[in-house]
Amino acid sequence: MNFEFLEIAELRQLLDDKKVSSVELTKYFLQRIKKSDLNAFITVTEDEALKEAAKADEFIASPGENPLLCGIPYAAKDLFCVKGTRTTAGSKILDNYVAPFDATSISKVKDQYGVLLGKTNLDQFAHGSSGETSAYGPSHNPWDVERMPGGSSSGSASAVAAGLSPWATATETGGSIRIPASFTGICGWKPTYGRVSRYGVIAMGSSLDSIGAMAYSVKDLAILAGVLAGRDEKDSTTGHQDVPAYLKNLNTDVKGLKIGVPKQYFIDGMEAGVKEKVTSAVEELKKQGAEIVEVDLPNTKYGSLVYAIVCPSEVSSNLARYDGIRYGHVTKEAKNLLEVYQKSRAEGFGNEAKRRILTGTYVLSAGYYDAYYKKAQKVRQLIVNEFAEVFKSVEVLACPCAPSVAPKLGKAAEDPLFGYITDQLNIPGSLAGLPALSIPCGFAKSEDGGEAQLPVGLQIIGPQFGEQKIFNVGHAYQQATDWHKKHPVI
């Protein structure tokens, strides 16, 4: 029996019915990983995975109900600390770092006897939207290996899309879940900021980082949200709101629901095929009885500019801890303490990390803080207020995730403005801390001359802590379509 591309609920039923064991399931996916040439994983935890699977089988054999994730394999983006496991953040400066503790999200999955297959590839410290800044080489898109899977959660997207793992953890600061989910034809959930604990996840931008997941359906994501979400005393930014029963409350009734379509999100430079598929997806929701309303978000055009100041500033602060003293890479060439700092960082950080450190340090320096950082935060608040006002008249927003299908590998290095238009579609929601989904809504040809039909993603954005709303709209769309059931031939 083939187990790749089965949804979490389907795997749960097979395990509960004793039609397959967790050990068998784990061996199946480990074998697929070994045969893959997508470079989706940095570290494969085969021995530990088989031990965890055996424990899950013991639990399943005992009386009582099994947790939803019990015995089901998964992958973790290599920003997530896993006790006793190498955790690199895609950077040589952490090449041999072994985490001494678990991230809260990993602990929650372990509590359910989930089985970790390994750590997935990513842009170094999540700096990038293509996956190409990884110190371990880029991951490849399983729909066309000459194309990028998107970043920074490139390995997680590639692994799930290729059937190497049923689901994967991911993180997003400004599109790092939605973009790769769109490019690889899977479902991605970027939660409300503070809905899921950031504890134990290597930081990029502390006021922006959100911890989410990738899977095959919105139903899968609702299951995962119910496990991962919630207050954590180890992370003061997590919200105190109760976690709804996302899965139990899933429904397909969108009749009379007001869905906003922001006109600023259908921008110049968008591929015609992408625009057509997203427009068709909105029409499908209209057929189901939703009321489609055009909305205006004029300040979102400043989102990329605000992000270009706020994010590097927080990167500069967060990466200061990698100094060659406490942990991580230490140079062998230093003659004094100053050279330990200088050479360890020069050798360990990649070019993109260095660029962001320099930019952020400059912006935060005396004489420039008020002119740049403080002003950027004021514009950020305008964007927050604008979204809040729009959500007084509509329940969710529907729009594209990206202006194109997956570009070819190398595009990011060739084009200094690569990702700018994509950022305009993703960053405003991140700055406002809003929850969002990317779900497959069709296929289109790239306008760069490629012949392959590649996935297109529909983005659904909700108000803060409005996960249930976006899950319901996404689920309603997937009950009427089968785009999420299309998979690459591997």
Residue 449 has pLDDT above 90, yes or no: no
Helices 8-16/22-35 angle, 10° precision: 140
Tokens at residue 277, please? Answer: 């598929």
Question: Looking up tokens 């690199």, which residue turns up?
Answer: 88
Spatial contact of 85 and 100, defined as CB atoms under 8 Å apart: no
Question: Looking up tokens 């900021």, which residue turns up?
Answer: 193
Residue 361: strand, helix, or coil: helix
For residue 41, give the H/E element and its range: strand 41-44
Residue 222 has pLDDT above 80, yes or no: yes
Residue 106 has pLDDT above 70, yes or no: yes
* Proportion of the chain above pLDDT 90, given as a percent: 92
Residue 77 phi/psi, 5-degree rounding, is -55, 140
The torsion defined by the Cα of 43, 49, 50 and 55, in degrees rounded to 10, comes to 170
Question: pLDDT, tens digit, for every residue of 143-193?
Answer: 999 999 999 999 999 999 999 999 999 999 999 999 999 999 999 999 999
pLDDT score recorded for residue 388 = 98
pLDDT score recorded for residue 451 = 80
Q: How far apart are alpha carbons 43 and 50 in whole angstroms?
A: 15
pLDDT score recorded for residue 490 = 81
Q: Which residues are catalytic?
A: 77, 152, 176
pLDDT score recorded for residue 30 = 98
Residue 350 has pLDDT above 70, yes or no: yes
Please give the CATH topology (third level) of the domain spanning 1-490.
Amidase signature (AS) enzymes (3.90.1300)
Tokens at residue 304, please? Answer: 């990329």
Q: What is the pLDDT confidence band of residue 417, given thresholds at 50, 70 and 90? A: low
Residue 416 has pLDDT above 70, yes or no: no
pLDDT score recorded for residue 77 = 98
Q: Give the global pTM.
A: 0.97
Residue 41 has pLDDT above 80, yes or no: yes
Residue 359 has pLDDT above 80, yes or no: yes
Residue 27 has pLDDT above 90, yes or no: yes
Residue 472: strand, helix, or coil: helix
Question: pLDDT, tens digit, for every residue of 293-303?
Answer: 999 999 999 99
Residue 8 has pLDDT above 90, yes or no: yes
